[in-house]
Every structure is written in C-alpha cells, then in structure tokens.
C-alpha cells in the first residue's frame, strides 16, 4: 500500500480563494469542490471557478470513494436556481458546471430540479454562458433524463467512475451497465449534444480493465473523457491501491483518442469538471 505521495502529486496551494468561498457561503450554495474535498479547490476558487452541487449536501448513496455526506436528504430547495444565478453574476462565470448529490428518494432522481436550474440560467443569461451538467444515474429513469435534456444544455456528463469489477466494493448502489446505458440514451433523445464521462484510477483496476471501460464508454457514443488519480478524501474512504504515473496517464489518453473520443483529459489531478470550460472550448 503506498504511504507517501509521489513527487508528481505534490503541488503548492494557490492563494486568493477567499472571495469565491465568501460568495458561495453568502448565497448558501453547495459545491462538489468543498463537499468532495477536491484537491483542485484552491486553484479553481482562486480563478473564481466552482462546480455547483444542487439538491442539497446529503447523498442517498454510500459510495466509498466520496466524502459527500451520506444519509437522508433534505427537501428540495426551490429557490436554489435563483441563488446560483446571483452567484454566477458575482463570480463572472462564462461556463457553468452543475452537479448534484444522488437523490434516490425522489421519483425523478432530481431531474426536474436540474431542468428548472438550467431553465433559470437560460432565462437570465441566454447563450452568454455554457452549461455542463454532471448528473447521477437517475436510477435508470429515462423519463427523468428526457426532462433534463429538454433544456438547452451544452454538455451532459455522467461518470462511470471505475471498472465493472470494483462496483460492488466501491459504489455498491450503482450499476456499471446502467451508467453506460444512460450515457448511450442521451444522444438517442437529443442528437447533437455533447456527452462526457470520467474515471478514477488507482483503485485496484488492471490496465486491461481500464482499457475495457474506456472502450465501453466510447461504444456508448460518448464524446469526451476525463481520467484522474483517485485520492482518498477521508479516513473511512477506500484505500488508494496505486499511484498512476503521468506517463501511464498519457498512454491512456492516446488509447482513448485512438478510439475516437473528441477530447480526453488525462492526468493525476484531472477531475470531471476541472477546467471544464477550456476543455469544452478546445473540443470545438
């Protein structure tokens, strides 16, 4: 079991993130940056960037790689979309990423609230901002997915997270084939939209398993892929099995691009919403 972080995982924490923290706190908004203890939080906040996390701060599932609170979620906050609009104005964002906790307690998995949030953003900003949604699997509810896709979204992201063999130990309430199914259904419902998915590496997967899941995601008609190093966010989280070298990340990127992805971000600190705006722009 690795004890020390290798040199490529050591970085300086940038200053100047206080303003972003104050804005988010002032509007009582959650971010995956804080809730999931993201290693890029300082960098993103210093650039006035953040990934909004809607539908509360408590997740109905118990994935072992994530530090988001688990338990019984609170009621949906109908005023949340308006507060996000106000935060976007203060932060000066041109590209917005919105994710959520998983809400298995809701019939639509939160699809209606995602749609309401996008509609509110478009009413206030029109096409002046780009919108990427990172959604849970909605329990395979295609009607809920259609509600979301009825709105004007630039990128629809759903993370597969890891290889099929590790689902039972890492994310037992999720289903590998269901996640792939949801990604594939997106373009059947809304042709032309960009789709995206992501993986964490270093959980104990083999190289052949990693290549298999990359291939499976591409076969699901997915355009964009992100690959990053799993970093244990809290003591009770699953242990890191391996530190993936930058060279290996580069090899995986080449493999994925050769399969036909439009763009792939692959590296130790890559996360699904990290530098999402520039990633999307570079993909055009």
- Residue 26 sits in a domain of what CATH number? 3.20.20.70
How many structural domains comprise the chain? Answer: 1
C-beta separation of 55 from 73 below 8 A: yes
pLDDT at 35: 84
Does residue 158 form part of some domain?
yes
Whole-model pTM? 0.95
Does residue 235 form part of some domain?
yes
pLDDT at 15: 57
Average pLDDT over residues 184-195: 97
Q: Among 55-69, 75-89, 105-119, 185-199, which stretch is predicted with the lowest mean pLDDT?
A: 55-69
Average pLDDT over residues 36-42: 83
pLDDT at 55: 97
Does residue 5 form part of some domain?
no
Does residue 1 form part of some domain?
no
Does residue 3 form part of some domain?
no
- For residue 180, pLDDT beyond 60: yes
Does residue 217 form part of some domain?
yes
Does residue 91 form part of some domain?
yes
pLDDT at 3: 59
Does residue 94 form part of some domain?
yes
- For residue 16, pLDDT beyond 80: no
What percent of the chain has a predicted confidence (pLDDT) above 70?
97
User: Domain span at residue 195?
Assistant: 10-282
- For residue 177, pLDDT beyond 60: yes
- For residue 284, pLDDT beyond 80: no
How does the average pLDDT of the chain come out, rounded? Answer: 93
- For residue 68, pLDDT beyond 80: yes
pLDDT at 195: 98
């Amino acid at each position: 079991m690795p004890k020390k972080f290798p040199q490529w995982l050591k970085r300086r924490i940038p200053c100047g993130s206080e303003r972003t923290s104050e804005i988010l706190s002032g509007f009582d908004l959650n971010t995956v940056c804080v809730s999931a203890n993201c290693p890029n939080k300082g960098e993103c906040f210093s650039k006035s960037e953040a990934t909004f996390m809607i539908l509360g701060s408590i997740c109905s599932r118990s994935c072992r790689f994530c530090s988001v609170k688990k338990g019984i979620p609170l009621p949906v906050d109908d005023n949340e979309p308006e507060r996000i609009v106000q935060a976007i104005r203060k932060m000066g964002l041109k590209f917005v990423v919105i994710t959520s906790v998983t809400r298995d307690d809701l019939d639509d998995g939160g699809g209606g609230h995602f749609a309401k949030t996008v509609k509110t953003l478009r009413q206030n900003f029109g096409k002046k901002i780009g919108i990427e949604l990172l959604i849970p699997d909605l329990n395979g509810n295609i009607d809920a997915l259609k509600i979301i896709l009825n709105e004007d979204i630039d990128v629809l992201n759903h993370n597969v997270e890891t290889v099929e063999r590790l689902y039972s130990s890492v994310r037992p309430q999720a289903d590998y084939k269901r996640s792939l199914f949801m990604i594939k259904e997106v373009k059947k419902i809304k042709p032309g939209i960009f789709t995206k998915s992501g993986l964490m590496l270093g959980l104990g997967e083999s190289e052949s398993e990693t290549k298999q899941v990359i291939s499976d995601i591409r076969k699901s008609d997915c355009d964009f892929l992100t690959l990053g190093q799993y970093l244990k966010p809290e003591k009770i989280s699953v242990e890191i099995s391996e530190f993936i070298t930058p060279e290996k990340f580069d090899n995986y990127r080449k493999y994925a691009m050769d399969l036909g992805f439009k763009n792939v971000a692959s590296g130790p600190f890559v996360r699904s919403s990290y530098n999402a705006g520039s990633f999307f722009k570079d993909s055009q």
